[in-house]
């Protein structure tokens, strides 16, 4: 972590927790985040957003959505716009998660449009990038990551880049129990920062918070967060357990 950048611990609940269950979990999480010096975010399913925004009002915890549509309105059945999220008090939105890319045909082109829509509505996008095991083993990880960054952020100005968070999630370490070593995670997070420096200038790149999102948990959080280019975590399974999430928040202090 770098003290000049915002440290962010964001929980991605994925498709878990009904509104009642969300209210109960937030009741356990809020006390653990009360003394946090880092930014704490819970990215919850759409139906839980009103409860989460109400429950976290006036607290140290911000609320994020897990997706949005890039159009402001229209005939897009089942979709949610940035303005809808912004009006109920959402402040962050996860964009381009590997599960969206794999299961729901998300492309770098649509990710780029969604980043623009989020920024236009005043939301903070958490852009997810990462490689598969096959891409890592074929030694094309650097090109893949750089291509994702370049296309996904192609419509973003240097001024707006300061409002974007990037999360590195090695796809081979999501939900598998495998974690990149702290050295592997740092290597790719530095690659991301170097790519941002090429695109937006070194000064801007130094201000961007880069999160690690591959099975960070209570046991490995401190070691990962000690790396110079890792500024927080996008936490999956561990964010559904208040004690584990609390320990990760504590590790970020």
Q: Where are the domains of the chain?
A: 8-251
3-class DSSP state of 131 = coil
Is residue 169 annotated as part of the catalytic site, yes or no? yes
Digit-coded pLDDT (tens) for 122-162: 999 999 999 998 999 899 999 999 999 999 999 999 999 99
Q: What is the pTM of this model?
A: 0.96
What is the token pair recorded at 8? 């962010």
Catalytic residue from among 97, 99, 106, 131: 97
CATH topology of domain 8-251: TIM Barrel (3.20.20)
Helix axes 182-200, 141-152, angle to 10 degrees: 40
% of the chain exceeding 90 in pLDDT: 91
DSSP string, 10-36: EEE--S---HHHHHHHHHHHHHHHTT-
Task: Using the predicted structure, report yes or no on whether residue 180 has a pLDDT greater than 90.
Answer: no
Is residue 131 annotated as part of the catalytic site, yes or no? no
Question: How confident is the model over 36-49, as a mean pLDDT?
Answer: 97
Per-residue pLDDT, 183? 94
Helices marked H in the chain: 19-33, 49-56, 82-87, 98-103, 108-120, 133-137, 141-152, 158-161, 182-200, 202-205, 221-225, 242-251
């Amino acid at each position: 972590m770098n003290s000049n950048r915002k440290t962010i611990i964001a929980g991605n609940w994925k498709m878990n927790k009904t509104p009642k269950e969300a209210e109960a979990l937030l009741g356990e999480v809020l006390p653990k985040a009360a003394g946090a010096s880092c930014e704490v975010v819970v990215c919850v399913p759409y139906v839980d957003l009103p409860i989460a925004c109400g429950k976290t009002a006036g607290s140290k915890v911000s609320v994020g959505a897990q997706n949005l549509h890039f159009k402001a309105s229209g005939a897009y059945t089942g979709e949610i716009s940035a303005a809808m999220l912004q009006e109920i008090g959402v402040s962050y939105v996860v964009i381009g998660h590997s599960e969206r890319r794999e299961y729901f045909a998300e492309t770098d082109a649509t990710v780029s449009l969604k980043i623009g829509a989020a920024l236009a509505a005043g939301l903070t996008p958490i852009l997810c990038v990462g490689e598969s095991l096959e891409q890592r083993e074929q030694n094309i990880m650097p090109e893949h990551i750089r291509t994702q960054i370049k296309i996904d952020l192609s419509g973003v100005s240097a001024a707006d880049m300061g409002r974007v968070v990037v999360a590195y999630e090695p796809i081979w370490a999501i939900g598998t129990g495998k974690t990149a070593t702290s050295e592997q995670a740092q290597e790719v997070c530095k690659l991301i920062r170097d790519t941002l420096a090429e695109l937006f200038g070194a000064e801007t790149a130094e201000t961007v918070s880069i999160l690690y999102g591959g099975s960070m948990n209570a046991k490995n959080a401190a070691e990962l967060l000690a790396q110079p280019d890792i500024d927080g975590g996008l936490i999956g399974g561990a964010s559904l357990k208040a004690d584990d999430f609390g320990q990760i928040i504590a590790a970020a202090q």
